[in-house]
Amino acid sequence: MALHCPRPPLDVTTTLNVTATLNVTASLNVTTMLNVIAGGSKTDDDGRACLLTVALLWACPLILSLGCFLFACIFFLFGRFMQKSPELAAQVGLKAGFVAIACGVWVGFSFNGFSSKLFHSLVVLLFTVLWVVAGILVSTLGWKWFVSSSENSDAVLGMKRRLNQYDALKGAVVLMGLPLLVPYLMVHTVKQFFRRARGHAASSGPLTGEATVILLELKRWAWVSVLSWTSLWCWLAWGSLYIPVLTNIVVAYFIQLLAPLNWALVSFLFLALGFVMFLNPFFPGPVFYLMGGVLLVPLCDQAFNGSVSTGPETVILPFVWTLLLCYMMKFASQVACQKIFGEWMGANPAMRSIVAPNSMPMRAVRYVLSQPGLSPGKIAVVCAGPDWPVAVFFGIVRKMPGGESLSTCSVMLGLTPIFILIAPTLAMGLLIFYEDIWGGFWPSATSLITIFNIGLNVGATLSYLYYVQRVLRTPSALAVCEAYPEDKEVAARDAAAAARKGKSHAPLFATNCH
């Protein structure tokens, strides 16, 4: 006798955890599957659910194995490179680690409003990759060789040079390194104790020579300025972590508030709300696109088709309409940030000095933005770069000497492929709403498209950094950057600030308190 089972949503008889890495959970109704195999009473939906579940059980391990294979290929190529150029291996490893962490943290902050758990998972994953790369380098090259190569690398020397120049970087070092300072001093105190016991101590103090040099360097810092920057970095870090979460709460409130309204009115309010939100430098763009997928797509779906669709076929038109609104809002907000904030800030030399327009990295960004047409570098900088800073920087450049030739239309042309980054995030929001309605494979598709979206954003950010660095490595482009007229007002302010810093360079440790 044929076994009978109800129509979906399926009763969960056995829950199969396909993979913890992808966090994909498939629910399989064994009764329904036996019914389909036996040829008894069944429906197309039952058969589709069973086939999709079976395909998922096969596809997810395949995807995971392909990811592991790609990971192995990367380290194989890196190992071959280490064999051919061991003196450059440490430099490449350090740069790759720093770039990966910077890109991952930026993408994680962008998705923090969507899922704080996802953000913390990204940070843990990236730091794990950094430790793995460092472990391979140390085990292959040796600790002394790794330390020597790292200290003499261009990246570390450049960081030391910039650290001596800018109190802002010193403030960031205090913020990130202060928890490690006490354990570091304790370790070197113990090392000095054993060195004295063995008669090999190079210094007479309680600390080793390396730790003493670091403390003497810290003593020379202008601590009033450094701690002021540390406080500012703390506020920025707090805002980057919690403002997206608060934004997500506000977005959820607006979703509940706007859901009963007409779709045309909601479309207009959605466009206006997004325009205002994108003027906020702390607002993460993906949260707005997720809001479009959760709110506007279902609302337009119900208005266009009479009811919420039970399949993906009829959602295409509402999805395209929402994508068009996000596209229009992105262009409008970019122009507004350029004109309202960028050109207004660019008229003030004090504001221009904040972005260091005379430095070579900023000149390289200016060179990329000034390229005609749809150059890959311009697309990478405008589309993958941070929304608010890139737009504001372009507005500032237009107020600099020689910046009048830059065209807003030219930069907006480079923004045209932005739909490639908007569409996957919009699809994430869409699937958050429809996954339970559609059932079958779609709850798992939400996890898969989230992983794809994160990889796409990381790749786009890496391309942005690549094209900026390529300008600095290309002699012809570097010559153009060096030929840009110097912003003399900013240079004069920097020189005056350096002179004041030299005169009032009173270390905090040497200050007498009365």
Instruction: Specify the pLDDT at position 321.
Output: 92
| 115 vs 117: CA distance, rounded Å | 5
pLDDT above 60 (res 348): yes
pLDDT above 70 (res 280): yes
Q: Which tops the pLDDT comparison, 59 or 279?
A: 279
SS3 59: helix
- CA distances 480 to 16, 365, 371, 468, Å, are 59, 12, 12, 14
Q: Which tops the pLDDT comparison, 397 or 152?
A: 397
Mean pLDDT on 232-260: 73
- CA distances 302 to 228, 298, 431, 437, 489, Å, are 53, 6, 16, 14, 58
The fraction of the chain above a pLDDT of 70, given in percent, is 63
Q: Which tops the pLDDT comparison, 379 or 47?
A: 379
pLDDT per residue as tens digits for the range 99-119:
665 655 555 555 554 555 555
Mean pLDDT of all residues in the chain? Answer: 72
What's at 408, amino acid-wise?
A: T
Residue showing tokens 């798992």: 444
Which pTM does this prediction carry? 0.60
Q: Which tops the pLDDT comparison, 329 or 130?
A: 329
- Per the CB < 8 A criterion, the answer to whether 352 and 345 are in contact is yes
Instruction: Specify the pLDDT at position 142.
Output: 65
Instruction: Specify the pLDDT at position 511.
Output: 39
Q: What kind and span of H or E run contains 287?
A: helix 285-291
Of 78-82, 241-245, 263-267, give the lowest mean pLDDT range: 78-82
| 429 vs 450: CA distance, rounded Å | 10
Contacts of 511 (CB under 8 A, 6+ apart): none
pLDDT above 70 (res 129): no
pLDDT above 70 (res 375): yes
Mean pLDDT on 220-225: 84
Instruction: Name the DSSP class of 458.
Output: H
Domain ranges of the chain: 1-84, 259-499
Q: Which tops the pLDDT comparison, 331 or 82?
A: 331
pLDDT above 50 (res 455): yes
pLDDT per residue as tens digits for the range 294-344:
888 888 888 888 787 777 778 889 899 999 999 998 888 888 888 888 878
Mean pLDDT on 6-32: 35
